[in-house]
Structure 1
């Protein structure tokens, strides 16, 4: 069944149709009480004012010249009534609630006195923040979170262009800290009128008076396209999409590396060790994925109300996973070396494929040092590993730049793009001069450069990003932990080089 437009509902309600008016009340309750709250700063008083406004609107439906503009018309009434209520409250120091209504408002939530006190304190704190905003920014923000975050509905209610509303919301968010905006969104959503609100309004309508005789002009309102919202969410997801793709690439690289290690084992006992330890690692990854999924589900379901607790637990899980992975690598290396020593001592022959490959590698990697000694270098100049490492470590800056520019942090976006181009330039210069550069030290330099560029971009996020960009990036200080991976990679490269040369020197020709 098609949902009736405001024009049809206003025309039917003006002819005395209670059901049509109840639909209008349900549709605009959040908007009307939001306008009142933006003026008076009292949730309870705003609902009292809202009920009075709808009763008044019922009586004056026949005076509407443009039924399509019902939302703007009733919001204007709400704003005037709220201003009158605040003036009366300030002049008489009396409670302006409509206590003389012929019905009682039921207690919707039975809460303890302590919980009620905490809730009241939170609401007072939120109003103390909102009241600091100019009305032109405060009212759109209140209505935005009361109207299911629809800028189109807010624009209709305030008689402004949708682009103007988006600009005011952006400016309003910039004037509040990110965590304050999150608290406002939560509280305004929880205090939106529930289903009982419409019943209270309908119960308060006078039984003998109804609006009739209105000659409503038929007009069909356009449907909300939601294109702007979709584009914004897609742009925000771009930055996280880069991280997800990077993770998938990392997993694929790990799988390829494991297979190559298994293929190039000197002894069959080492192959069996790789299979066993890989199964252990996959099981650990599964457990980690389940724990992260449970944590995210708990956050979505509202079981973890504190953002700091959620971030702390998530960071703790990641640190635990990193620690377990390092322990796994350490134990694997010890076991791998022990099996090689035992097989060599027992006279077990090296696998034929490995022996042929070792002879080729020995020829390709052998170098004569300045002192005349012979050594072997694991790192060689290859285009794919070189550019893949240099560009891959800074590729995340590109989606970050796209999201930043979309949300108005143009300076941050251009800075991130600049850092990525610097990394690309350094990689290209080193590749051109590869005949004069040592591959191993070039890789170490690339790691150090990527670490410096990452740190610089993290500083830029903290200083150049506006509130809206920080909100959609979900930026937290825990992001600095990413810098720990660079020294770890550098040490890993050192260990590869050292182990490779020692193995080449110790292995028989």
Structure 2
């Protein structure tokens, strides 16, 4: 059985990844991590920095997958994101004043007799090799040569991954070999292979996706309320049920952005996990209640039934906003106020407007107001 190419794997996994499947995206990361880190390393000439930039590029692409119109453009798009981030990093380094003791710190790290200097020496040497050998290569050959050694010295594979012709890759390889001594080229090959990211790289990126939920798969701030209110506007264009569905989707997108405010208070993985658990529970409850109202509107369009369902949904949603959420968030907010007293009042006001009593009132008004408008404005609802 023929092994999938990177492009084929991306095309296979991208639909699920776009719909919010982190495991599908993790497989894309594992298949393309050599390419992305090589692009970053060719620019930054630092292994650690290149991996940091590559991780940022993958996370950036994950958050913006819905903007990608053509799945076959994913790899070129990802390469460009990586190049932009790498050049931004270099510009930031150049603007930052260089400390006078940078060189002394490197020397001290190498000469330190305490346990661990060998690791620092190896790291420092690796960084020096990266900077020196990459700098010795022609600019246009750096990505090609790094990826060539990381991809089993296959010029065709490099051509596919970098969007070049095989002839162009071979030309750049030839030019690189002509500009660097044979012994340096051998050392560069060893460096390129040894500095390639391990399988743990994709695992780290995939784990980080948990704190960067995509709008397509995240929940909405007041999904049920937004669903009922949004239906009135949607009815004008797509009909009653389409409007309610659009309202639910809008509410789900709203919760994604508002939930990021909660994550800003978290310090530990345990706290972030608790917040995500509450958001998922609130989203599930909101969608379930909104779906029940929508089903009733379609199957038994009676204003009495819709009123009963809407008024029954309010206590459930209000309880989640007024009891479990404050119990979880108040200790984090108090800690935040102690650490950062400047602006604490402003942050507290923003929190109350979104998640506190004001948010509850808005939810109730939206749901009841939306129900009234639906009953008055839709010929589908009878007494």
What range is the shorter-chain TM-score in? 0.3 to 0.5
Return the structure number with greater helix share: 2
Normalising by the residue count of structure 1, what TM-score does the alignment of the two structures yield? 0.37
Normalising by the residue count of structure 2, what TM-score does the alignment of the two structures yield? 0.48
Which structure has the larger Rg over C-alpha atoms?
1
